[in-house]
């Protein structure tokens, strides 16, 4: 029996990036878990838009940055499936010329959204006050090249293409995180509204996991859907992107993945970014 009636479908949002469209292709095309629970048409938006929607409580299930998750734990719970965590996959700080870390406070640095993991990771890396400028992730490299900003934190496909824009790597922020903590870097996850209740939330989690399994079993099946929404259409870039961000943590966070998220949120609280009261709430769907 469906958990929801046909006229009461769950709202779902994720990004148009290849890792998300790879993960959700089977689910949005009715190939992952049938009609139980029932999902409405997916809303695809860039990650910072999704973060802002999460702060407004707009969607029942949403992809969001782990930075944003720290602000909305009173409304949302993290699902165990669908996340982007890993090693060697973090945001990169790039510029037109080689600049020493000591110069960062004197620069204007583009970030891909106020609530992105990349923005908070930059703050963790350089606690000194920095001048930042929020831009859509796909505008950052052109802005650096044009001299609108001195440097930028790039994410998604940009990490594979920045050198073709004549840009230099100043620091791999993900590598810094791994060295500091020993954990894989938690980039983004899938969260569901706590108000849906334990039964529905865990059913949603199972559906997303089934969609990931389907993607791994038939990776070519979703390629037309992935190309339809991708910023970069080169097959190697798409495959590299998916291979980097979709991994065993996407099937199940496990103890290591949950530990990485807890460490990220704890460091955010130490910086005064997140409210303290959220630390006592169940973090994941398995803890409800």
135: left (phi over 0), alpha (psi -120 to 50) or beta: beta
Contacts (Cβ under 8 Å, ≥6 apart) of 193:
57, 60, 61, 75, 76, 77
Give yes or no: 156 in active site. Answer: yes
Annotated catalytic residue, options 67, 71, 156, 241: 156
User: What's the CA gap between 64 and 78, in Å, rounded?
Assistant: 10
Angle at 12 between CA 43 and CA 36, to 5 degrees: 135
What residue has token string 């609280």?
Answer: 269
Q: Which residues are catalytic?
A: 156
């Amino acid at each position: 029996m469906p958990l929801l009636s046909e006229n009461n479908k769950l709202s779902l949002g994720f990004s148009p990036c290849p890792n998300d469209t790879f993960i959700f292709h089977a689910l949005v095309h009715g190939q992952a878990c049938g009609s139980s629970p029932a999902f409405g048409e997916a809303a695809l938006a860039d990650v910072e838009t999704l973060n802002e929607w999460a702060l407004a409580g707009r969607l029942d299930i949403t992809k969001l940055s782990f930075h944003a998750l720290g602000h909305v734990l009173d409304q949302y719970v993290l699902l165990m499936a669908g996340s982007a965590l890993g090693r060697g996959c973090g945001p990169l700080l790039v510029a037109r010329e080689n600049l020493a870390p000591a110069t960062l406070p004197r620069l204007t640095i583009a970030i891909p959204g106020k609530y992105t993991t990349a923005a908070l990771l930059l703050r963790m890396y350089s606690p000194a006050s920095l001048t930042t400028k929020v831009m859509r992730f796909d505008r950052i490299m052109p802005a650096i090249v044009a001299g609108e900003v001195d440097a930028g934190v790039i994410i998604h496909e940009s990490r594979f293409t920045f050198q073709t824009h004549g840009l230099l790597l100043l620091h791999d922020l993900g590598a810094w995180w791994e060295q500091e903590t020993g954990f894989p870097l938690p980039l983004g996850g899938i969260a569901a509204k706590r108000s849906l209740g334990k039964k529905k939330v865990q059913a949603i989690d199972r559906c997303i996991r089934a969609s990931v399994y389907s993607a791994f079993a038939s990776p070519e099946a979703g390629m037309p859907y992935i190309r339809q929404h991708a910023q970069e259409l080169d097959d190697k870039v798409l495959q590299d992107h998916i291979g980097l961000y979709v991994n065993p943590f996407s099937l199940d966070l496990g103890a290591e993945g949950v530990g990485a998220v807890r460490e990220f949120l704890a460091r955010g609280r130490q910086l005064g970014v997140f409210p303290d009261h959220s630390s006592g709430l169940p973090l994941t769907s398995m803890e409800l």
